[in-house]
Structure 1
Amino acid sequence: MEYKEECMREGMQIEDVNIPVEQKVRLLEALSETGLKSIVVGSFVSPRYTPQMACIDELLRRFRPKPGITYTALVANPRGEERARAYSPPLTLEREPVPYLRCHLCDVFVRRNFNRSQSQEIERWPQIVARAREKGSVAAGIGINAAWGSNFLGPFTLGQRMEMLGRQHALWEETGIPVTHVSLGDPMSWNFPHEIEETLRAIKERWPAITHFKLHFHNARGMSMPSTYAALRSLEAADTVYLDGAIGGIGGCPYCGNGRATGMVATEDLMHLLERMGIATGVDFDKVIDCVWMLEEMLGRPATGHVSKAGPCPITPKEWYDPNMPLVETFEQARHFRLGPKAYEKGQRPWKEPISKPCVA
C-alpha cells in the first residue's frame, strides 16, 4: 500500500480563510515529522480560482524538506510544470508509472471542472495510445472518474463502469500493450463499500493482469473509511493499492456541489484502522494529532476526523484511562489522551468511593 497526504493541496484548496504562508510552512514541516512518506505540498495552478495556492512558490522557498520524504505538487499544464522544475529538488516531478486512458462517467462534472466534455476526453485516447507505442511502453492503465455516481446525473451501474473500462482496455489490447493499472476516482462522494467490493472483484476477474489499483474517495456521505476497508479486503497480497487522504478529513472540489462538506478520508483515522488491522504504518500518532490541532487553529474551525478528538484506542496498560478520572463531556476534556489530567481537572466525580481495581464476577 502507498499513501499520499493531500492536506496541503486538495485539503486546503476548498478553504477561503486567509492562511499566512508562515503557518503553512510550519504545518508542512510538522507533517514531515509524522512518519508520512509522501506529501503533496500544493498545486501550480491559477490563483484566480484556487487562491490558497497563490503562495506555493514562497512556501517551497521557505520550508525545510526532510530527507526520505517524497514531496510532490499537482501540475495542471506546461506552464505549471515549468514553475515546478524550479523547485526540483526538493520537489519530485511526478510521472505516472504507465500511460493511462481515462474519462469521467459524468459529462456534467467534467464540463464544470475542466471545460471539456466526456466525448473530448475519449477523443484523446488514440493520441495517448500512439505516444505510448512510440515510446515503447510495456504496460498501461485504464481509469474512470465519478465512477460510482454523480450529483447531477445520479448513480452509475457496474455495467457502465465495466463498459467504459472495457473500451479503454480494448484499445491497449489492440496495440499489444498489457494493462496492469486501474484508477477509480470519486469526486462527488458516491462510494459505498459493497459497490467498491463489487467493482474491484469484477475488474480482477475480468482482467487478472491488473494488480495496481489507484483509489480516490471523498467523504461527503461518510463512506470513505468503510469503502477503503472494503477495498483492502477485496485485494490480494500481490496487489498494490494507492490511496490518498488529508489530516482532519478536510478537502473537496468546488465543482461538485458539496463544498467543504465533501471532505476526504482523515489520515489519522485511516492510519489508526491500518494499525488495528496489523498493517504497520510507521506513523507517530501524537505528531499527526498535533498537526490536526494545528490545522484546526489555522482554519478557525474543527476538522472532521475522529481519532484527533478521542485519541487512538488505548492498547497498553500505560495508555489505559484512569478509572477515577472525572466525567468527560466536552471535546476539550476529551483531549486528556494527549494533554493529560489537566484537560479534565475540574470535572465531577459522582461515584461514592475511588475505584481501585475492576470487580469481575
Structure 2
Amino acid sequence: MRQWPKVEYKEECMREGMQIEDVNIPVEQKVRLLEALSETGLKSIVVGSFVSPRYTPQMACIDELLRRFRPKPGITYTALVANPRGEERARAYSPPLTLEREPVPYLRCHLCDVFVRRNFNRSQSQEIERWPQIVARAREKGSVAAGIGINAAWGSNFLGPFTLGQRMEMLGRQHALWEETGIPVTHVSLGDPMSWNFPHEIEETLRAIKERWPAITHFKLHFHNARGMSMPSTYAALRSLEAADTVYLDGAIGGIGGCPYCGNGRATGMVATEDLMHLLERMGIATGVDLDKVIDCVWMLEEMLGRPATGHVSKAGPCPITPKEWYDPNMPLVETFEQARHFRLGPKAYEKGQRPWK
C-alpha cells in the first residue's frame, strides 16, 4: 500500500475567507460558524487577523468574536498577526488563542516585487535585507533547524510566470545563509497568492527541492484556486512527497478566500475543505474530520453569504460507499442543487420531483 506523507491541515475560512467577503456579515453569525467548525474534528482553525480595519474592515470585529465564542478543548485557535501592535492585541485573548510561533526561524521572500509592495508596503529587496538579522537572532537563540521560503512562487498576475530556476535560485540564496551559520535547513514554505499553481510544476519544484536538499522534510504549501488548480496541485504534492515527510496545507470550507491585492477578488478562492477531506479519506489518509458536519458548516456559510460556495462535495455529497448510502434506484429526477441535498436530508429533498417511471 502506498505510504503518504503526514498531513497537517489548517482551516482558513474565518480569516482568508472572511477577509474578502461582505464587511456587514453580523458577528453573531461568525460566532455561530466558528463554533460549528469547532465541532467538525478540525484541529487547527484560524479565527481571523489582527490588522488595521482601515485596510481590512472585515476583521474589525475580531475582538468581539473572540470575546463571544466558546472555544472547544483540543483545538488550536490562531490568528494572523501582522505587526507588534497586532501581537499585543492578540495576547489579550491567549488563551483561547495560541500565539503562533513557527517551529523554526524562516528566511522568506516574494518573487513578485509588485505584489509584496501592494500587499505589505515593502519591497523584495527590503525582505532580503532582513535575512542577516533573522539569521543572527537564530544563532543567538541556539536554533537547531531553520526554514526557507518563497511566496508568489510560480507566477504573478503583474509579472507573469516564474521558472524553476528562479525558485531554486532564491531558495538557494536562503539555504546558503543558513549553511554558513551551521544551522541545518529542514523546512520549506511555498506560497501562491495569485493562483499560478499547476500540478506538473508543483511536482517539479518539490522533487527538485528534495533532490538538492534531502534534509528538508517539512513542506508548507499555501495554494489559491482562481484557476481551479489547487486540488490537483495538492494531489501532485502528496504524490511527490514520502512517508517521512510532513506537508502543511491550508484551505477553507466552501473554497472561499482571497486577497484584495492580487487582482482576482473573491474569484481567488482556496481548496475547499470538504473536497480535500473527501479526497484524503479516499486515499487512505485519516483526517479525524466528520465530513457531514463540515458540509453543514458550508450550508451555514452559504446562508451567511447569500450565494453558493464553490466546493463540490457539499453539493453532491461524498461518494456513497456502503449499501446504506447508495441512492434509491426509484428516486425521482433530481435537477436542482436543493434536490441534490438528499444525501443529507433524505427523500424529503426531492419528494415533489418527477419520477422517470411509474
| Alpha-carbon offset, residue 255 of structure 1 | 0.4
Once the two structures are overlaid, the 10-residue window that deviates more, 100-109 or 10-19, is 10-19
Percent identity over the alignment? 99
- Contact 2:106/2:146 (<8 A) preserved: yes
Counterpart contact for 2:23–2:57, Cα < 8 Å: no
Deviations 1:117-170 (A, max 9, x none): 111111111111111111111100000000000001110000000000000000
Would you say the 8 A contact 1:42–1:56 is kept in 2? yes
- CA positional deviation for 1:280: 0.9
Deviation at 1:16, TM superposition (A): 2.1
Find the aligned partners of 2:156 and 2:113 in 1 and give their Cα distance.
9
Deviations 1:210-242 (A, max 9, x none): 000000000000000000000001000000100
**Which among 143, 154, 161 is matched to residue 137 of structure 1?**
143
The question of whether the paired residues in 1 share the 8 Å contact of 2:152 and 2:194 is answered with yes
Q: Tell me which of 268, 273, 285 is aligned to 2:279.
A: 273
Q: CA deviation at 1:348?
A: 1.1
Q: How far apart in 2 are the matches of 1:222 and 1:28? A: 26
8 Å CA contact 2:15–2:47 kept in 1: the answer is yes
- TM-score, normalised to structure 1, is 0.97
Aligned position for 2:181: 175
Q: In 2, Cα distance between the equivalents of 1:296 and 1:50?
A: 21
Q: 1:228 to 1:185 in 2, by over 3 A?
A: same
Alpha-carbon distance, 1:51 to partner:
1.2
Q: Deviations over 1:95-136 (max 9, x none)?
A: 000010000000110011111111111111111111111111
Q: What stretches of structure 1 of length at least 5 have no aligned partner?
A: 352-361
**Greater Rg over alpha carbons, structure:** 1
Please list the CA deviations of residues 237-260 of structure 1 after superposition, one character each: whole Å capped at 9, or x if unmatched: 000100010000000000000000
Tell me the distance in 1 between the aligned counterparts of 2:82 and 2:123: 17
SS state of the match for residue 188, structure 2?
Answer: strand
Is the contact made by 1:248 and 1:304 (CA closer than 8 Å) also made in structure 2? yes
> Alignment partner of 2:32: what SS?
helix
Deviates more, 1:12-21 or 1:78-87: 12-21
Question: Aligned partners of 1:189, 1:350: CA distance in 2, in Å?
Answer: 43
Mapped to 1, the partners of 2:308 and 2:24 lie a distance apart of 16
Tell me if structure 1 keeps the 8 A contact 2:316–2:340. Answer: yes
Contact 1:34 1:287 in 2 (8 A): yes
Partner Cα distance (1:342, 1:200) in 2: 48
Q: Secondary structure at the match of 1:126?
A: helix
Question: Which has the higher mean CA deviation after the structures are superposed, 282-291 or 15-24?
Answer: 15-24
Q: CA–CA distance in 2 between the matches of 1:313 and 1:273?
A: 10
CA contact (8 A) 2:13 2:253 kept: yes
Inter-CA distance 17–343: structure 2 relative to 1 (3 Å threshold): farther
- 1:257-290 residue CA offsets vs partner (Å, 9 max, x unmatched): 0000000000000000000001111111111001
Conserved? CA contact 2:46–2:79, under 8 Å: yes
Q: CA deviation at 1:17?
A: 4.7
| Partner SS for 1:221 | coil
Q: Do 2:187 and 2:216's aligned partners in 1 also have CA atoms closer than 8 Å?
A: yes
- Residue pair 2:189, 2:221 contacting (<8 A) in 1 also: yes
Residue deviations 1:148-199 (CA, integer Å, cap 9, x gap): 0000111000000000000000000001100000000000000000000000
SS at match of 1:16: coil
Runs of 4+ in 1 over 6 A off after TM superposition: none
| CA distance in 2: counterparts of 1:24 and 1:350, whole angstroms | 42
Note the alpha carbon deviations across 1:280-304, whole angstroms, 9 max, x for none: 1111111100100000000111100
* Distance in 1 of aligned mates of 2:126 and 2:51: 22
The root-mean-square deviation of aligned C-alpha atoms, in Å, is: 0.6
Give the secondary structure class of the aligned counterpart of 1:61: helix
2:346 is aligned with 1:330 = no
Aligned-pair distance for 1:350? Answer: 2.2
CA distance in 1, matches of 2:218, 2:24: 38
Cα distance in 2 for partners of 1:258, 1:60 equals 29
Q: Say whether the 8 Å CA contact 1:17–1:299 is kept in structure 2.
A: no
